Amino acid sequence: MRIDPDVCISCGNCIVWCPLGAIRMEDAAVVDRDACVECGACRRAGVCPVDAFRTESDERPYRFAFSDPSVAKPTGIAGRGTEEMKTNDVTGRFKRGRVGICIEPGRPGTGARFYDIEKITTTMARLGARFEPANPLTTLMCVQTGKIREDILDEKVMSAVIECDFPEPQLQKVISALDAIADHVDCVFSVSCIGRADTDGRVALEHTLRGLGIAYYPNGKTNLGMGRPLAAEVDEQ
């Protein structure tokens, strides 16, 4: 994002709207382009009385892709991740015996660089991750090695979503590896584990997580009438 210094009247309205603290006041308001993730929050807030914001979607498409929900995606995939991480009831892609892992590096206030995100994806790849092909980040990396395109490693984004899955017995190793890597990345990240509930309501990964001293907070979504793949699988057993 740029602010046109010939248009800005230095009212200061926009400064508090930037979630990365990237706008400062000099003679006119100025955007720190390295800190700015191109989220567009300043422009969308509608607080500029003179329309001084100039977007840079062509120059910095990957920052836009992972930070501004309102723009077309150069990855060719909308959003930052897939809804199936939360629901599993449209495609039923998480089978029994597999555990889904969703890692979200970055947050408003900090953002994340692709070189830090790559430290996580390469670690997951070494452990045998199967990366979700419909995830936009997956389109920017090698699914065998987890290496992200070299030309975008310095780019900063608000956040990204890494989606992959493993055989369930790998869960302990995966969580331990994520714990170890937390000291080596310069951003925050959250981790969600996705497991299938048995018909008695039990979820196998609960035992592993509790064994690692991790509090178990089940979250779920129910999309009534959309659970056909899972219903079919239960019928076959």
Site residues, ligand SF4 (CB under 6 A): 1, 3, 8-14, 17-18, 20, 22-23, 29, 31, 36-42, 47-48, 50, 52
Give the shortest CB-67-to-ligand SF4 separation in angstroms.
7
Structure tokens at 130: 């199967």
Give Cα separations from 37 to 53, 118, 236 (angstroms). Answer: 14, 18, 48
Give Cα separations from 31 to 17, 52, 73, 114, 206 (angstroms). Answer: 12, 12, 23, 21, 46
> Is the Cβ–Cβ distance between 37 and 52 less than 8 Å?
no
**Residue with smaller CB distance to ligand SF4, 29 or 175:** 29
- What 13-17 contacts at long range (C-beta under 8 Å, 24+ apart), as own/partner pairs, is 13/47, 13/48, 13/49, 14/42, 14/45, 14/47, 14/48, 14/53, 17/41, 17/42, 17/45, 17/47
Give the shortest CB-45-to-ligand SF4 separation in angstroms.
8
Cα distance between residue 79 and residue 34, in whole Å: 23
The residue type of 153 is L
Burial degree of 146 (CB within 10 A; 0-12, 13-18, 19+): buried
Angle among Cα 69, 84, 64 to the nearest 5 degrees reads 20
Residue that the structure tokens 């629901």 belong to? 87
**Residue with smaller CB distance to ligand SF4, 44 or 207:** 44
Give the shortest CB-24-to-ligand SF4 separation in angstroms.
10
Give the shortest CB-235-to-ligand SF4 separation in angstroms.
49
**Residue with smaller CB distance to ligand SF4, 69 or 169:** 69
**Residue with smaller CB distance to ligand SF4, 12 or 167:** 12
**Residue with smaller CB distance to ligand SF4, 48 or 99:** 48
Length of the chain: 237
**Residue with smaller CB distance to ligand SF4, 26 or 235:** 26
**Residue with smaller CB distance to ligand SF4, 158 or 230:** 158
Give the shortest CB-29-to-ligand SF4 separation in angstroms.
4
Give the shortest CB-43-to-ligand SF4 separation in angstroms.
7
Give the shortest CB-15-to-ligand SF4 separation in angstroms.
7
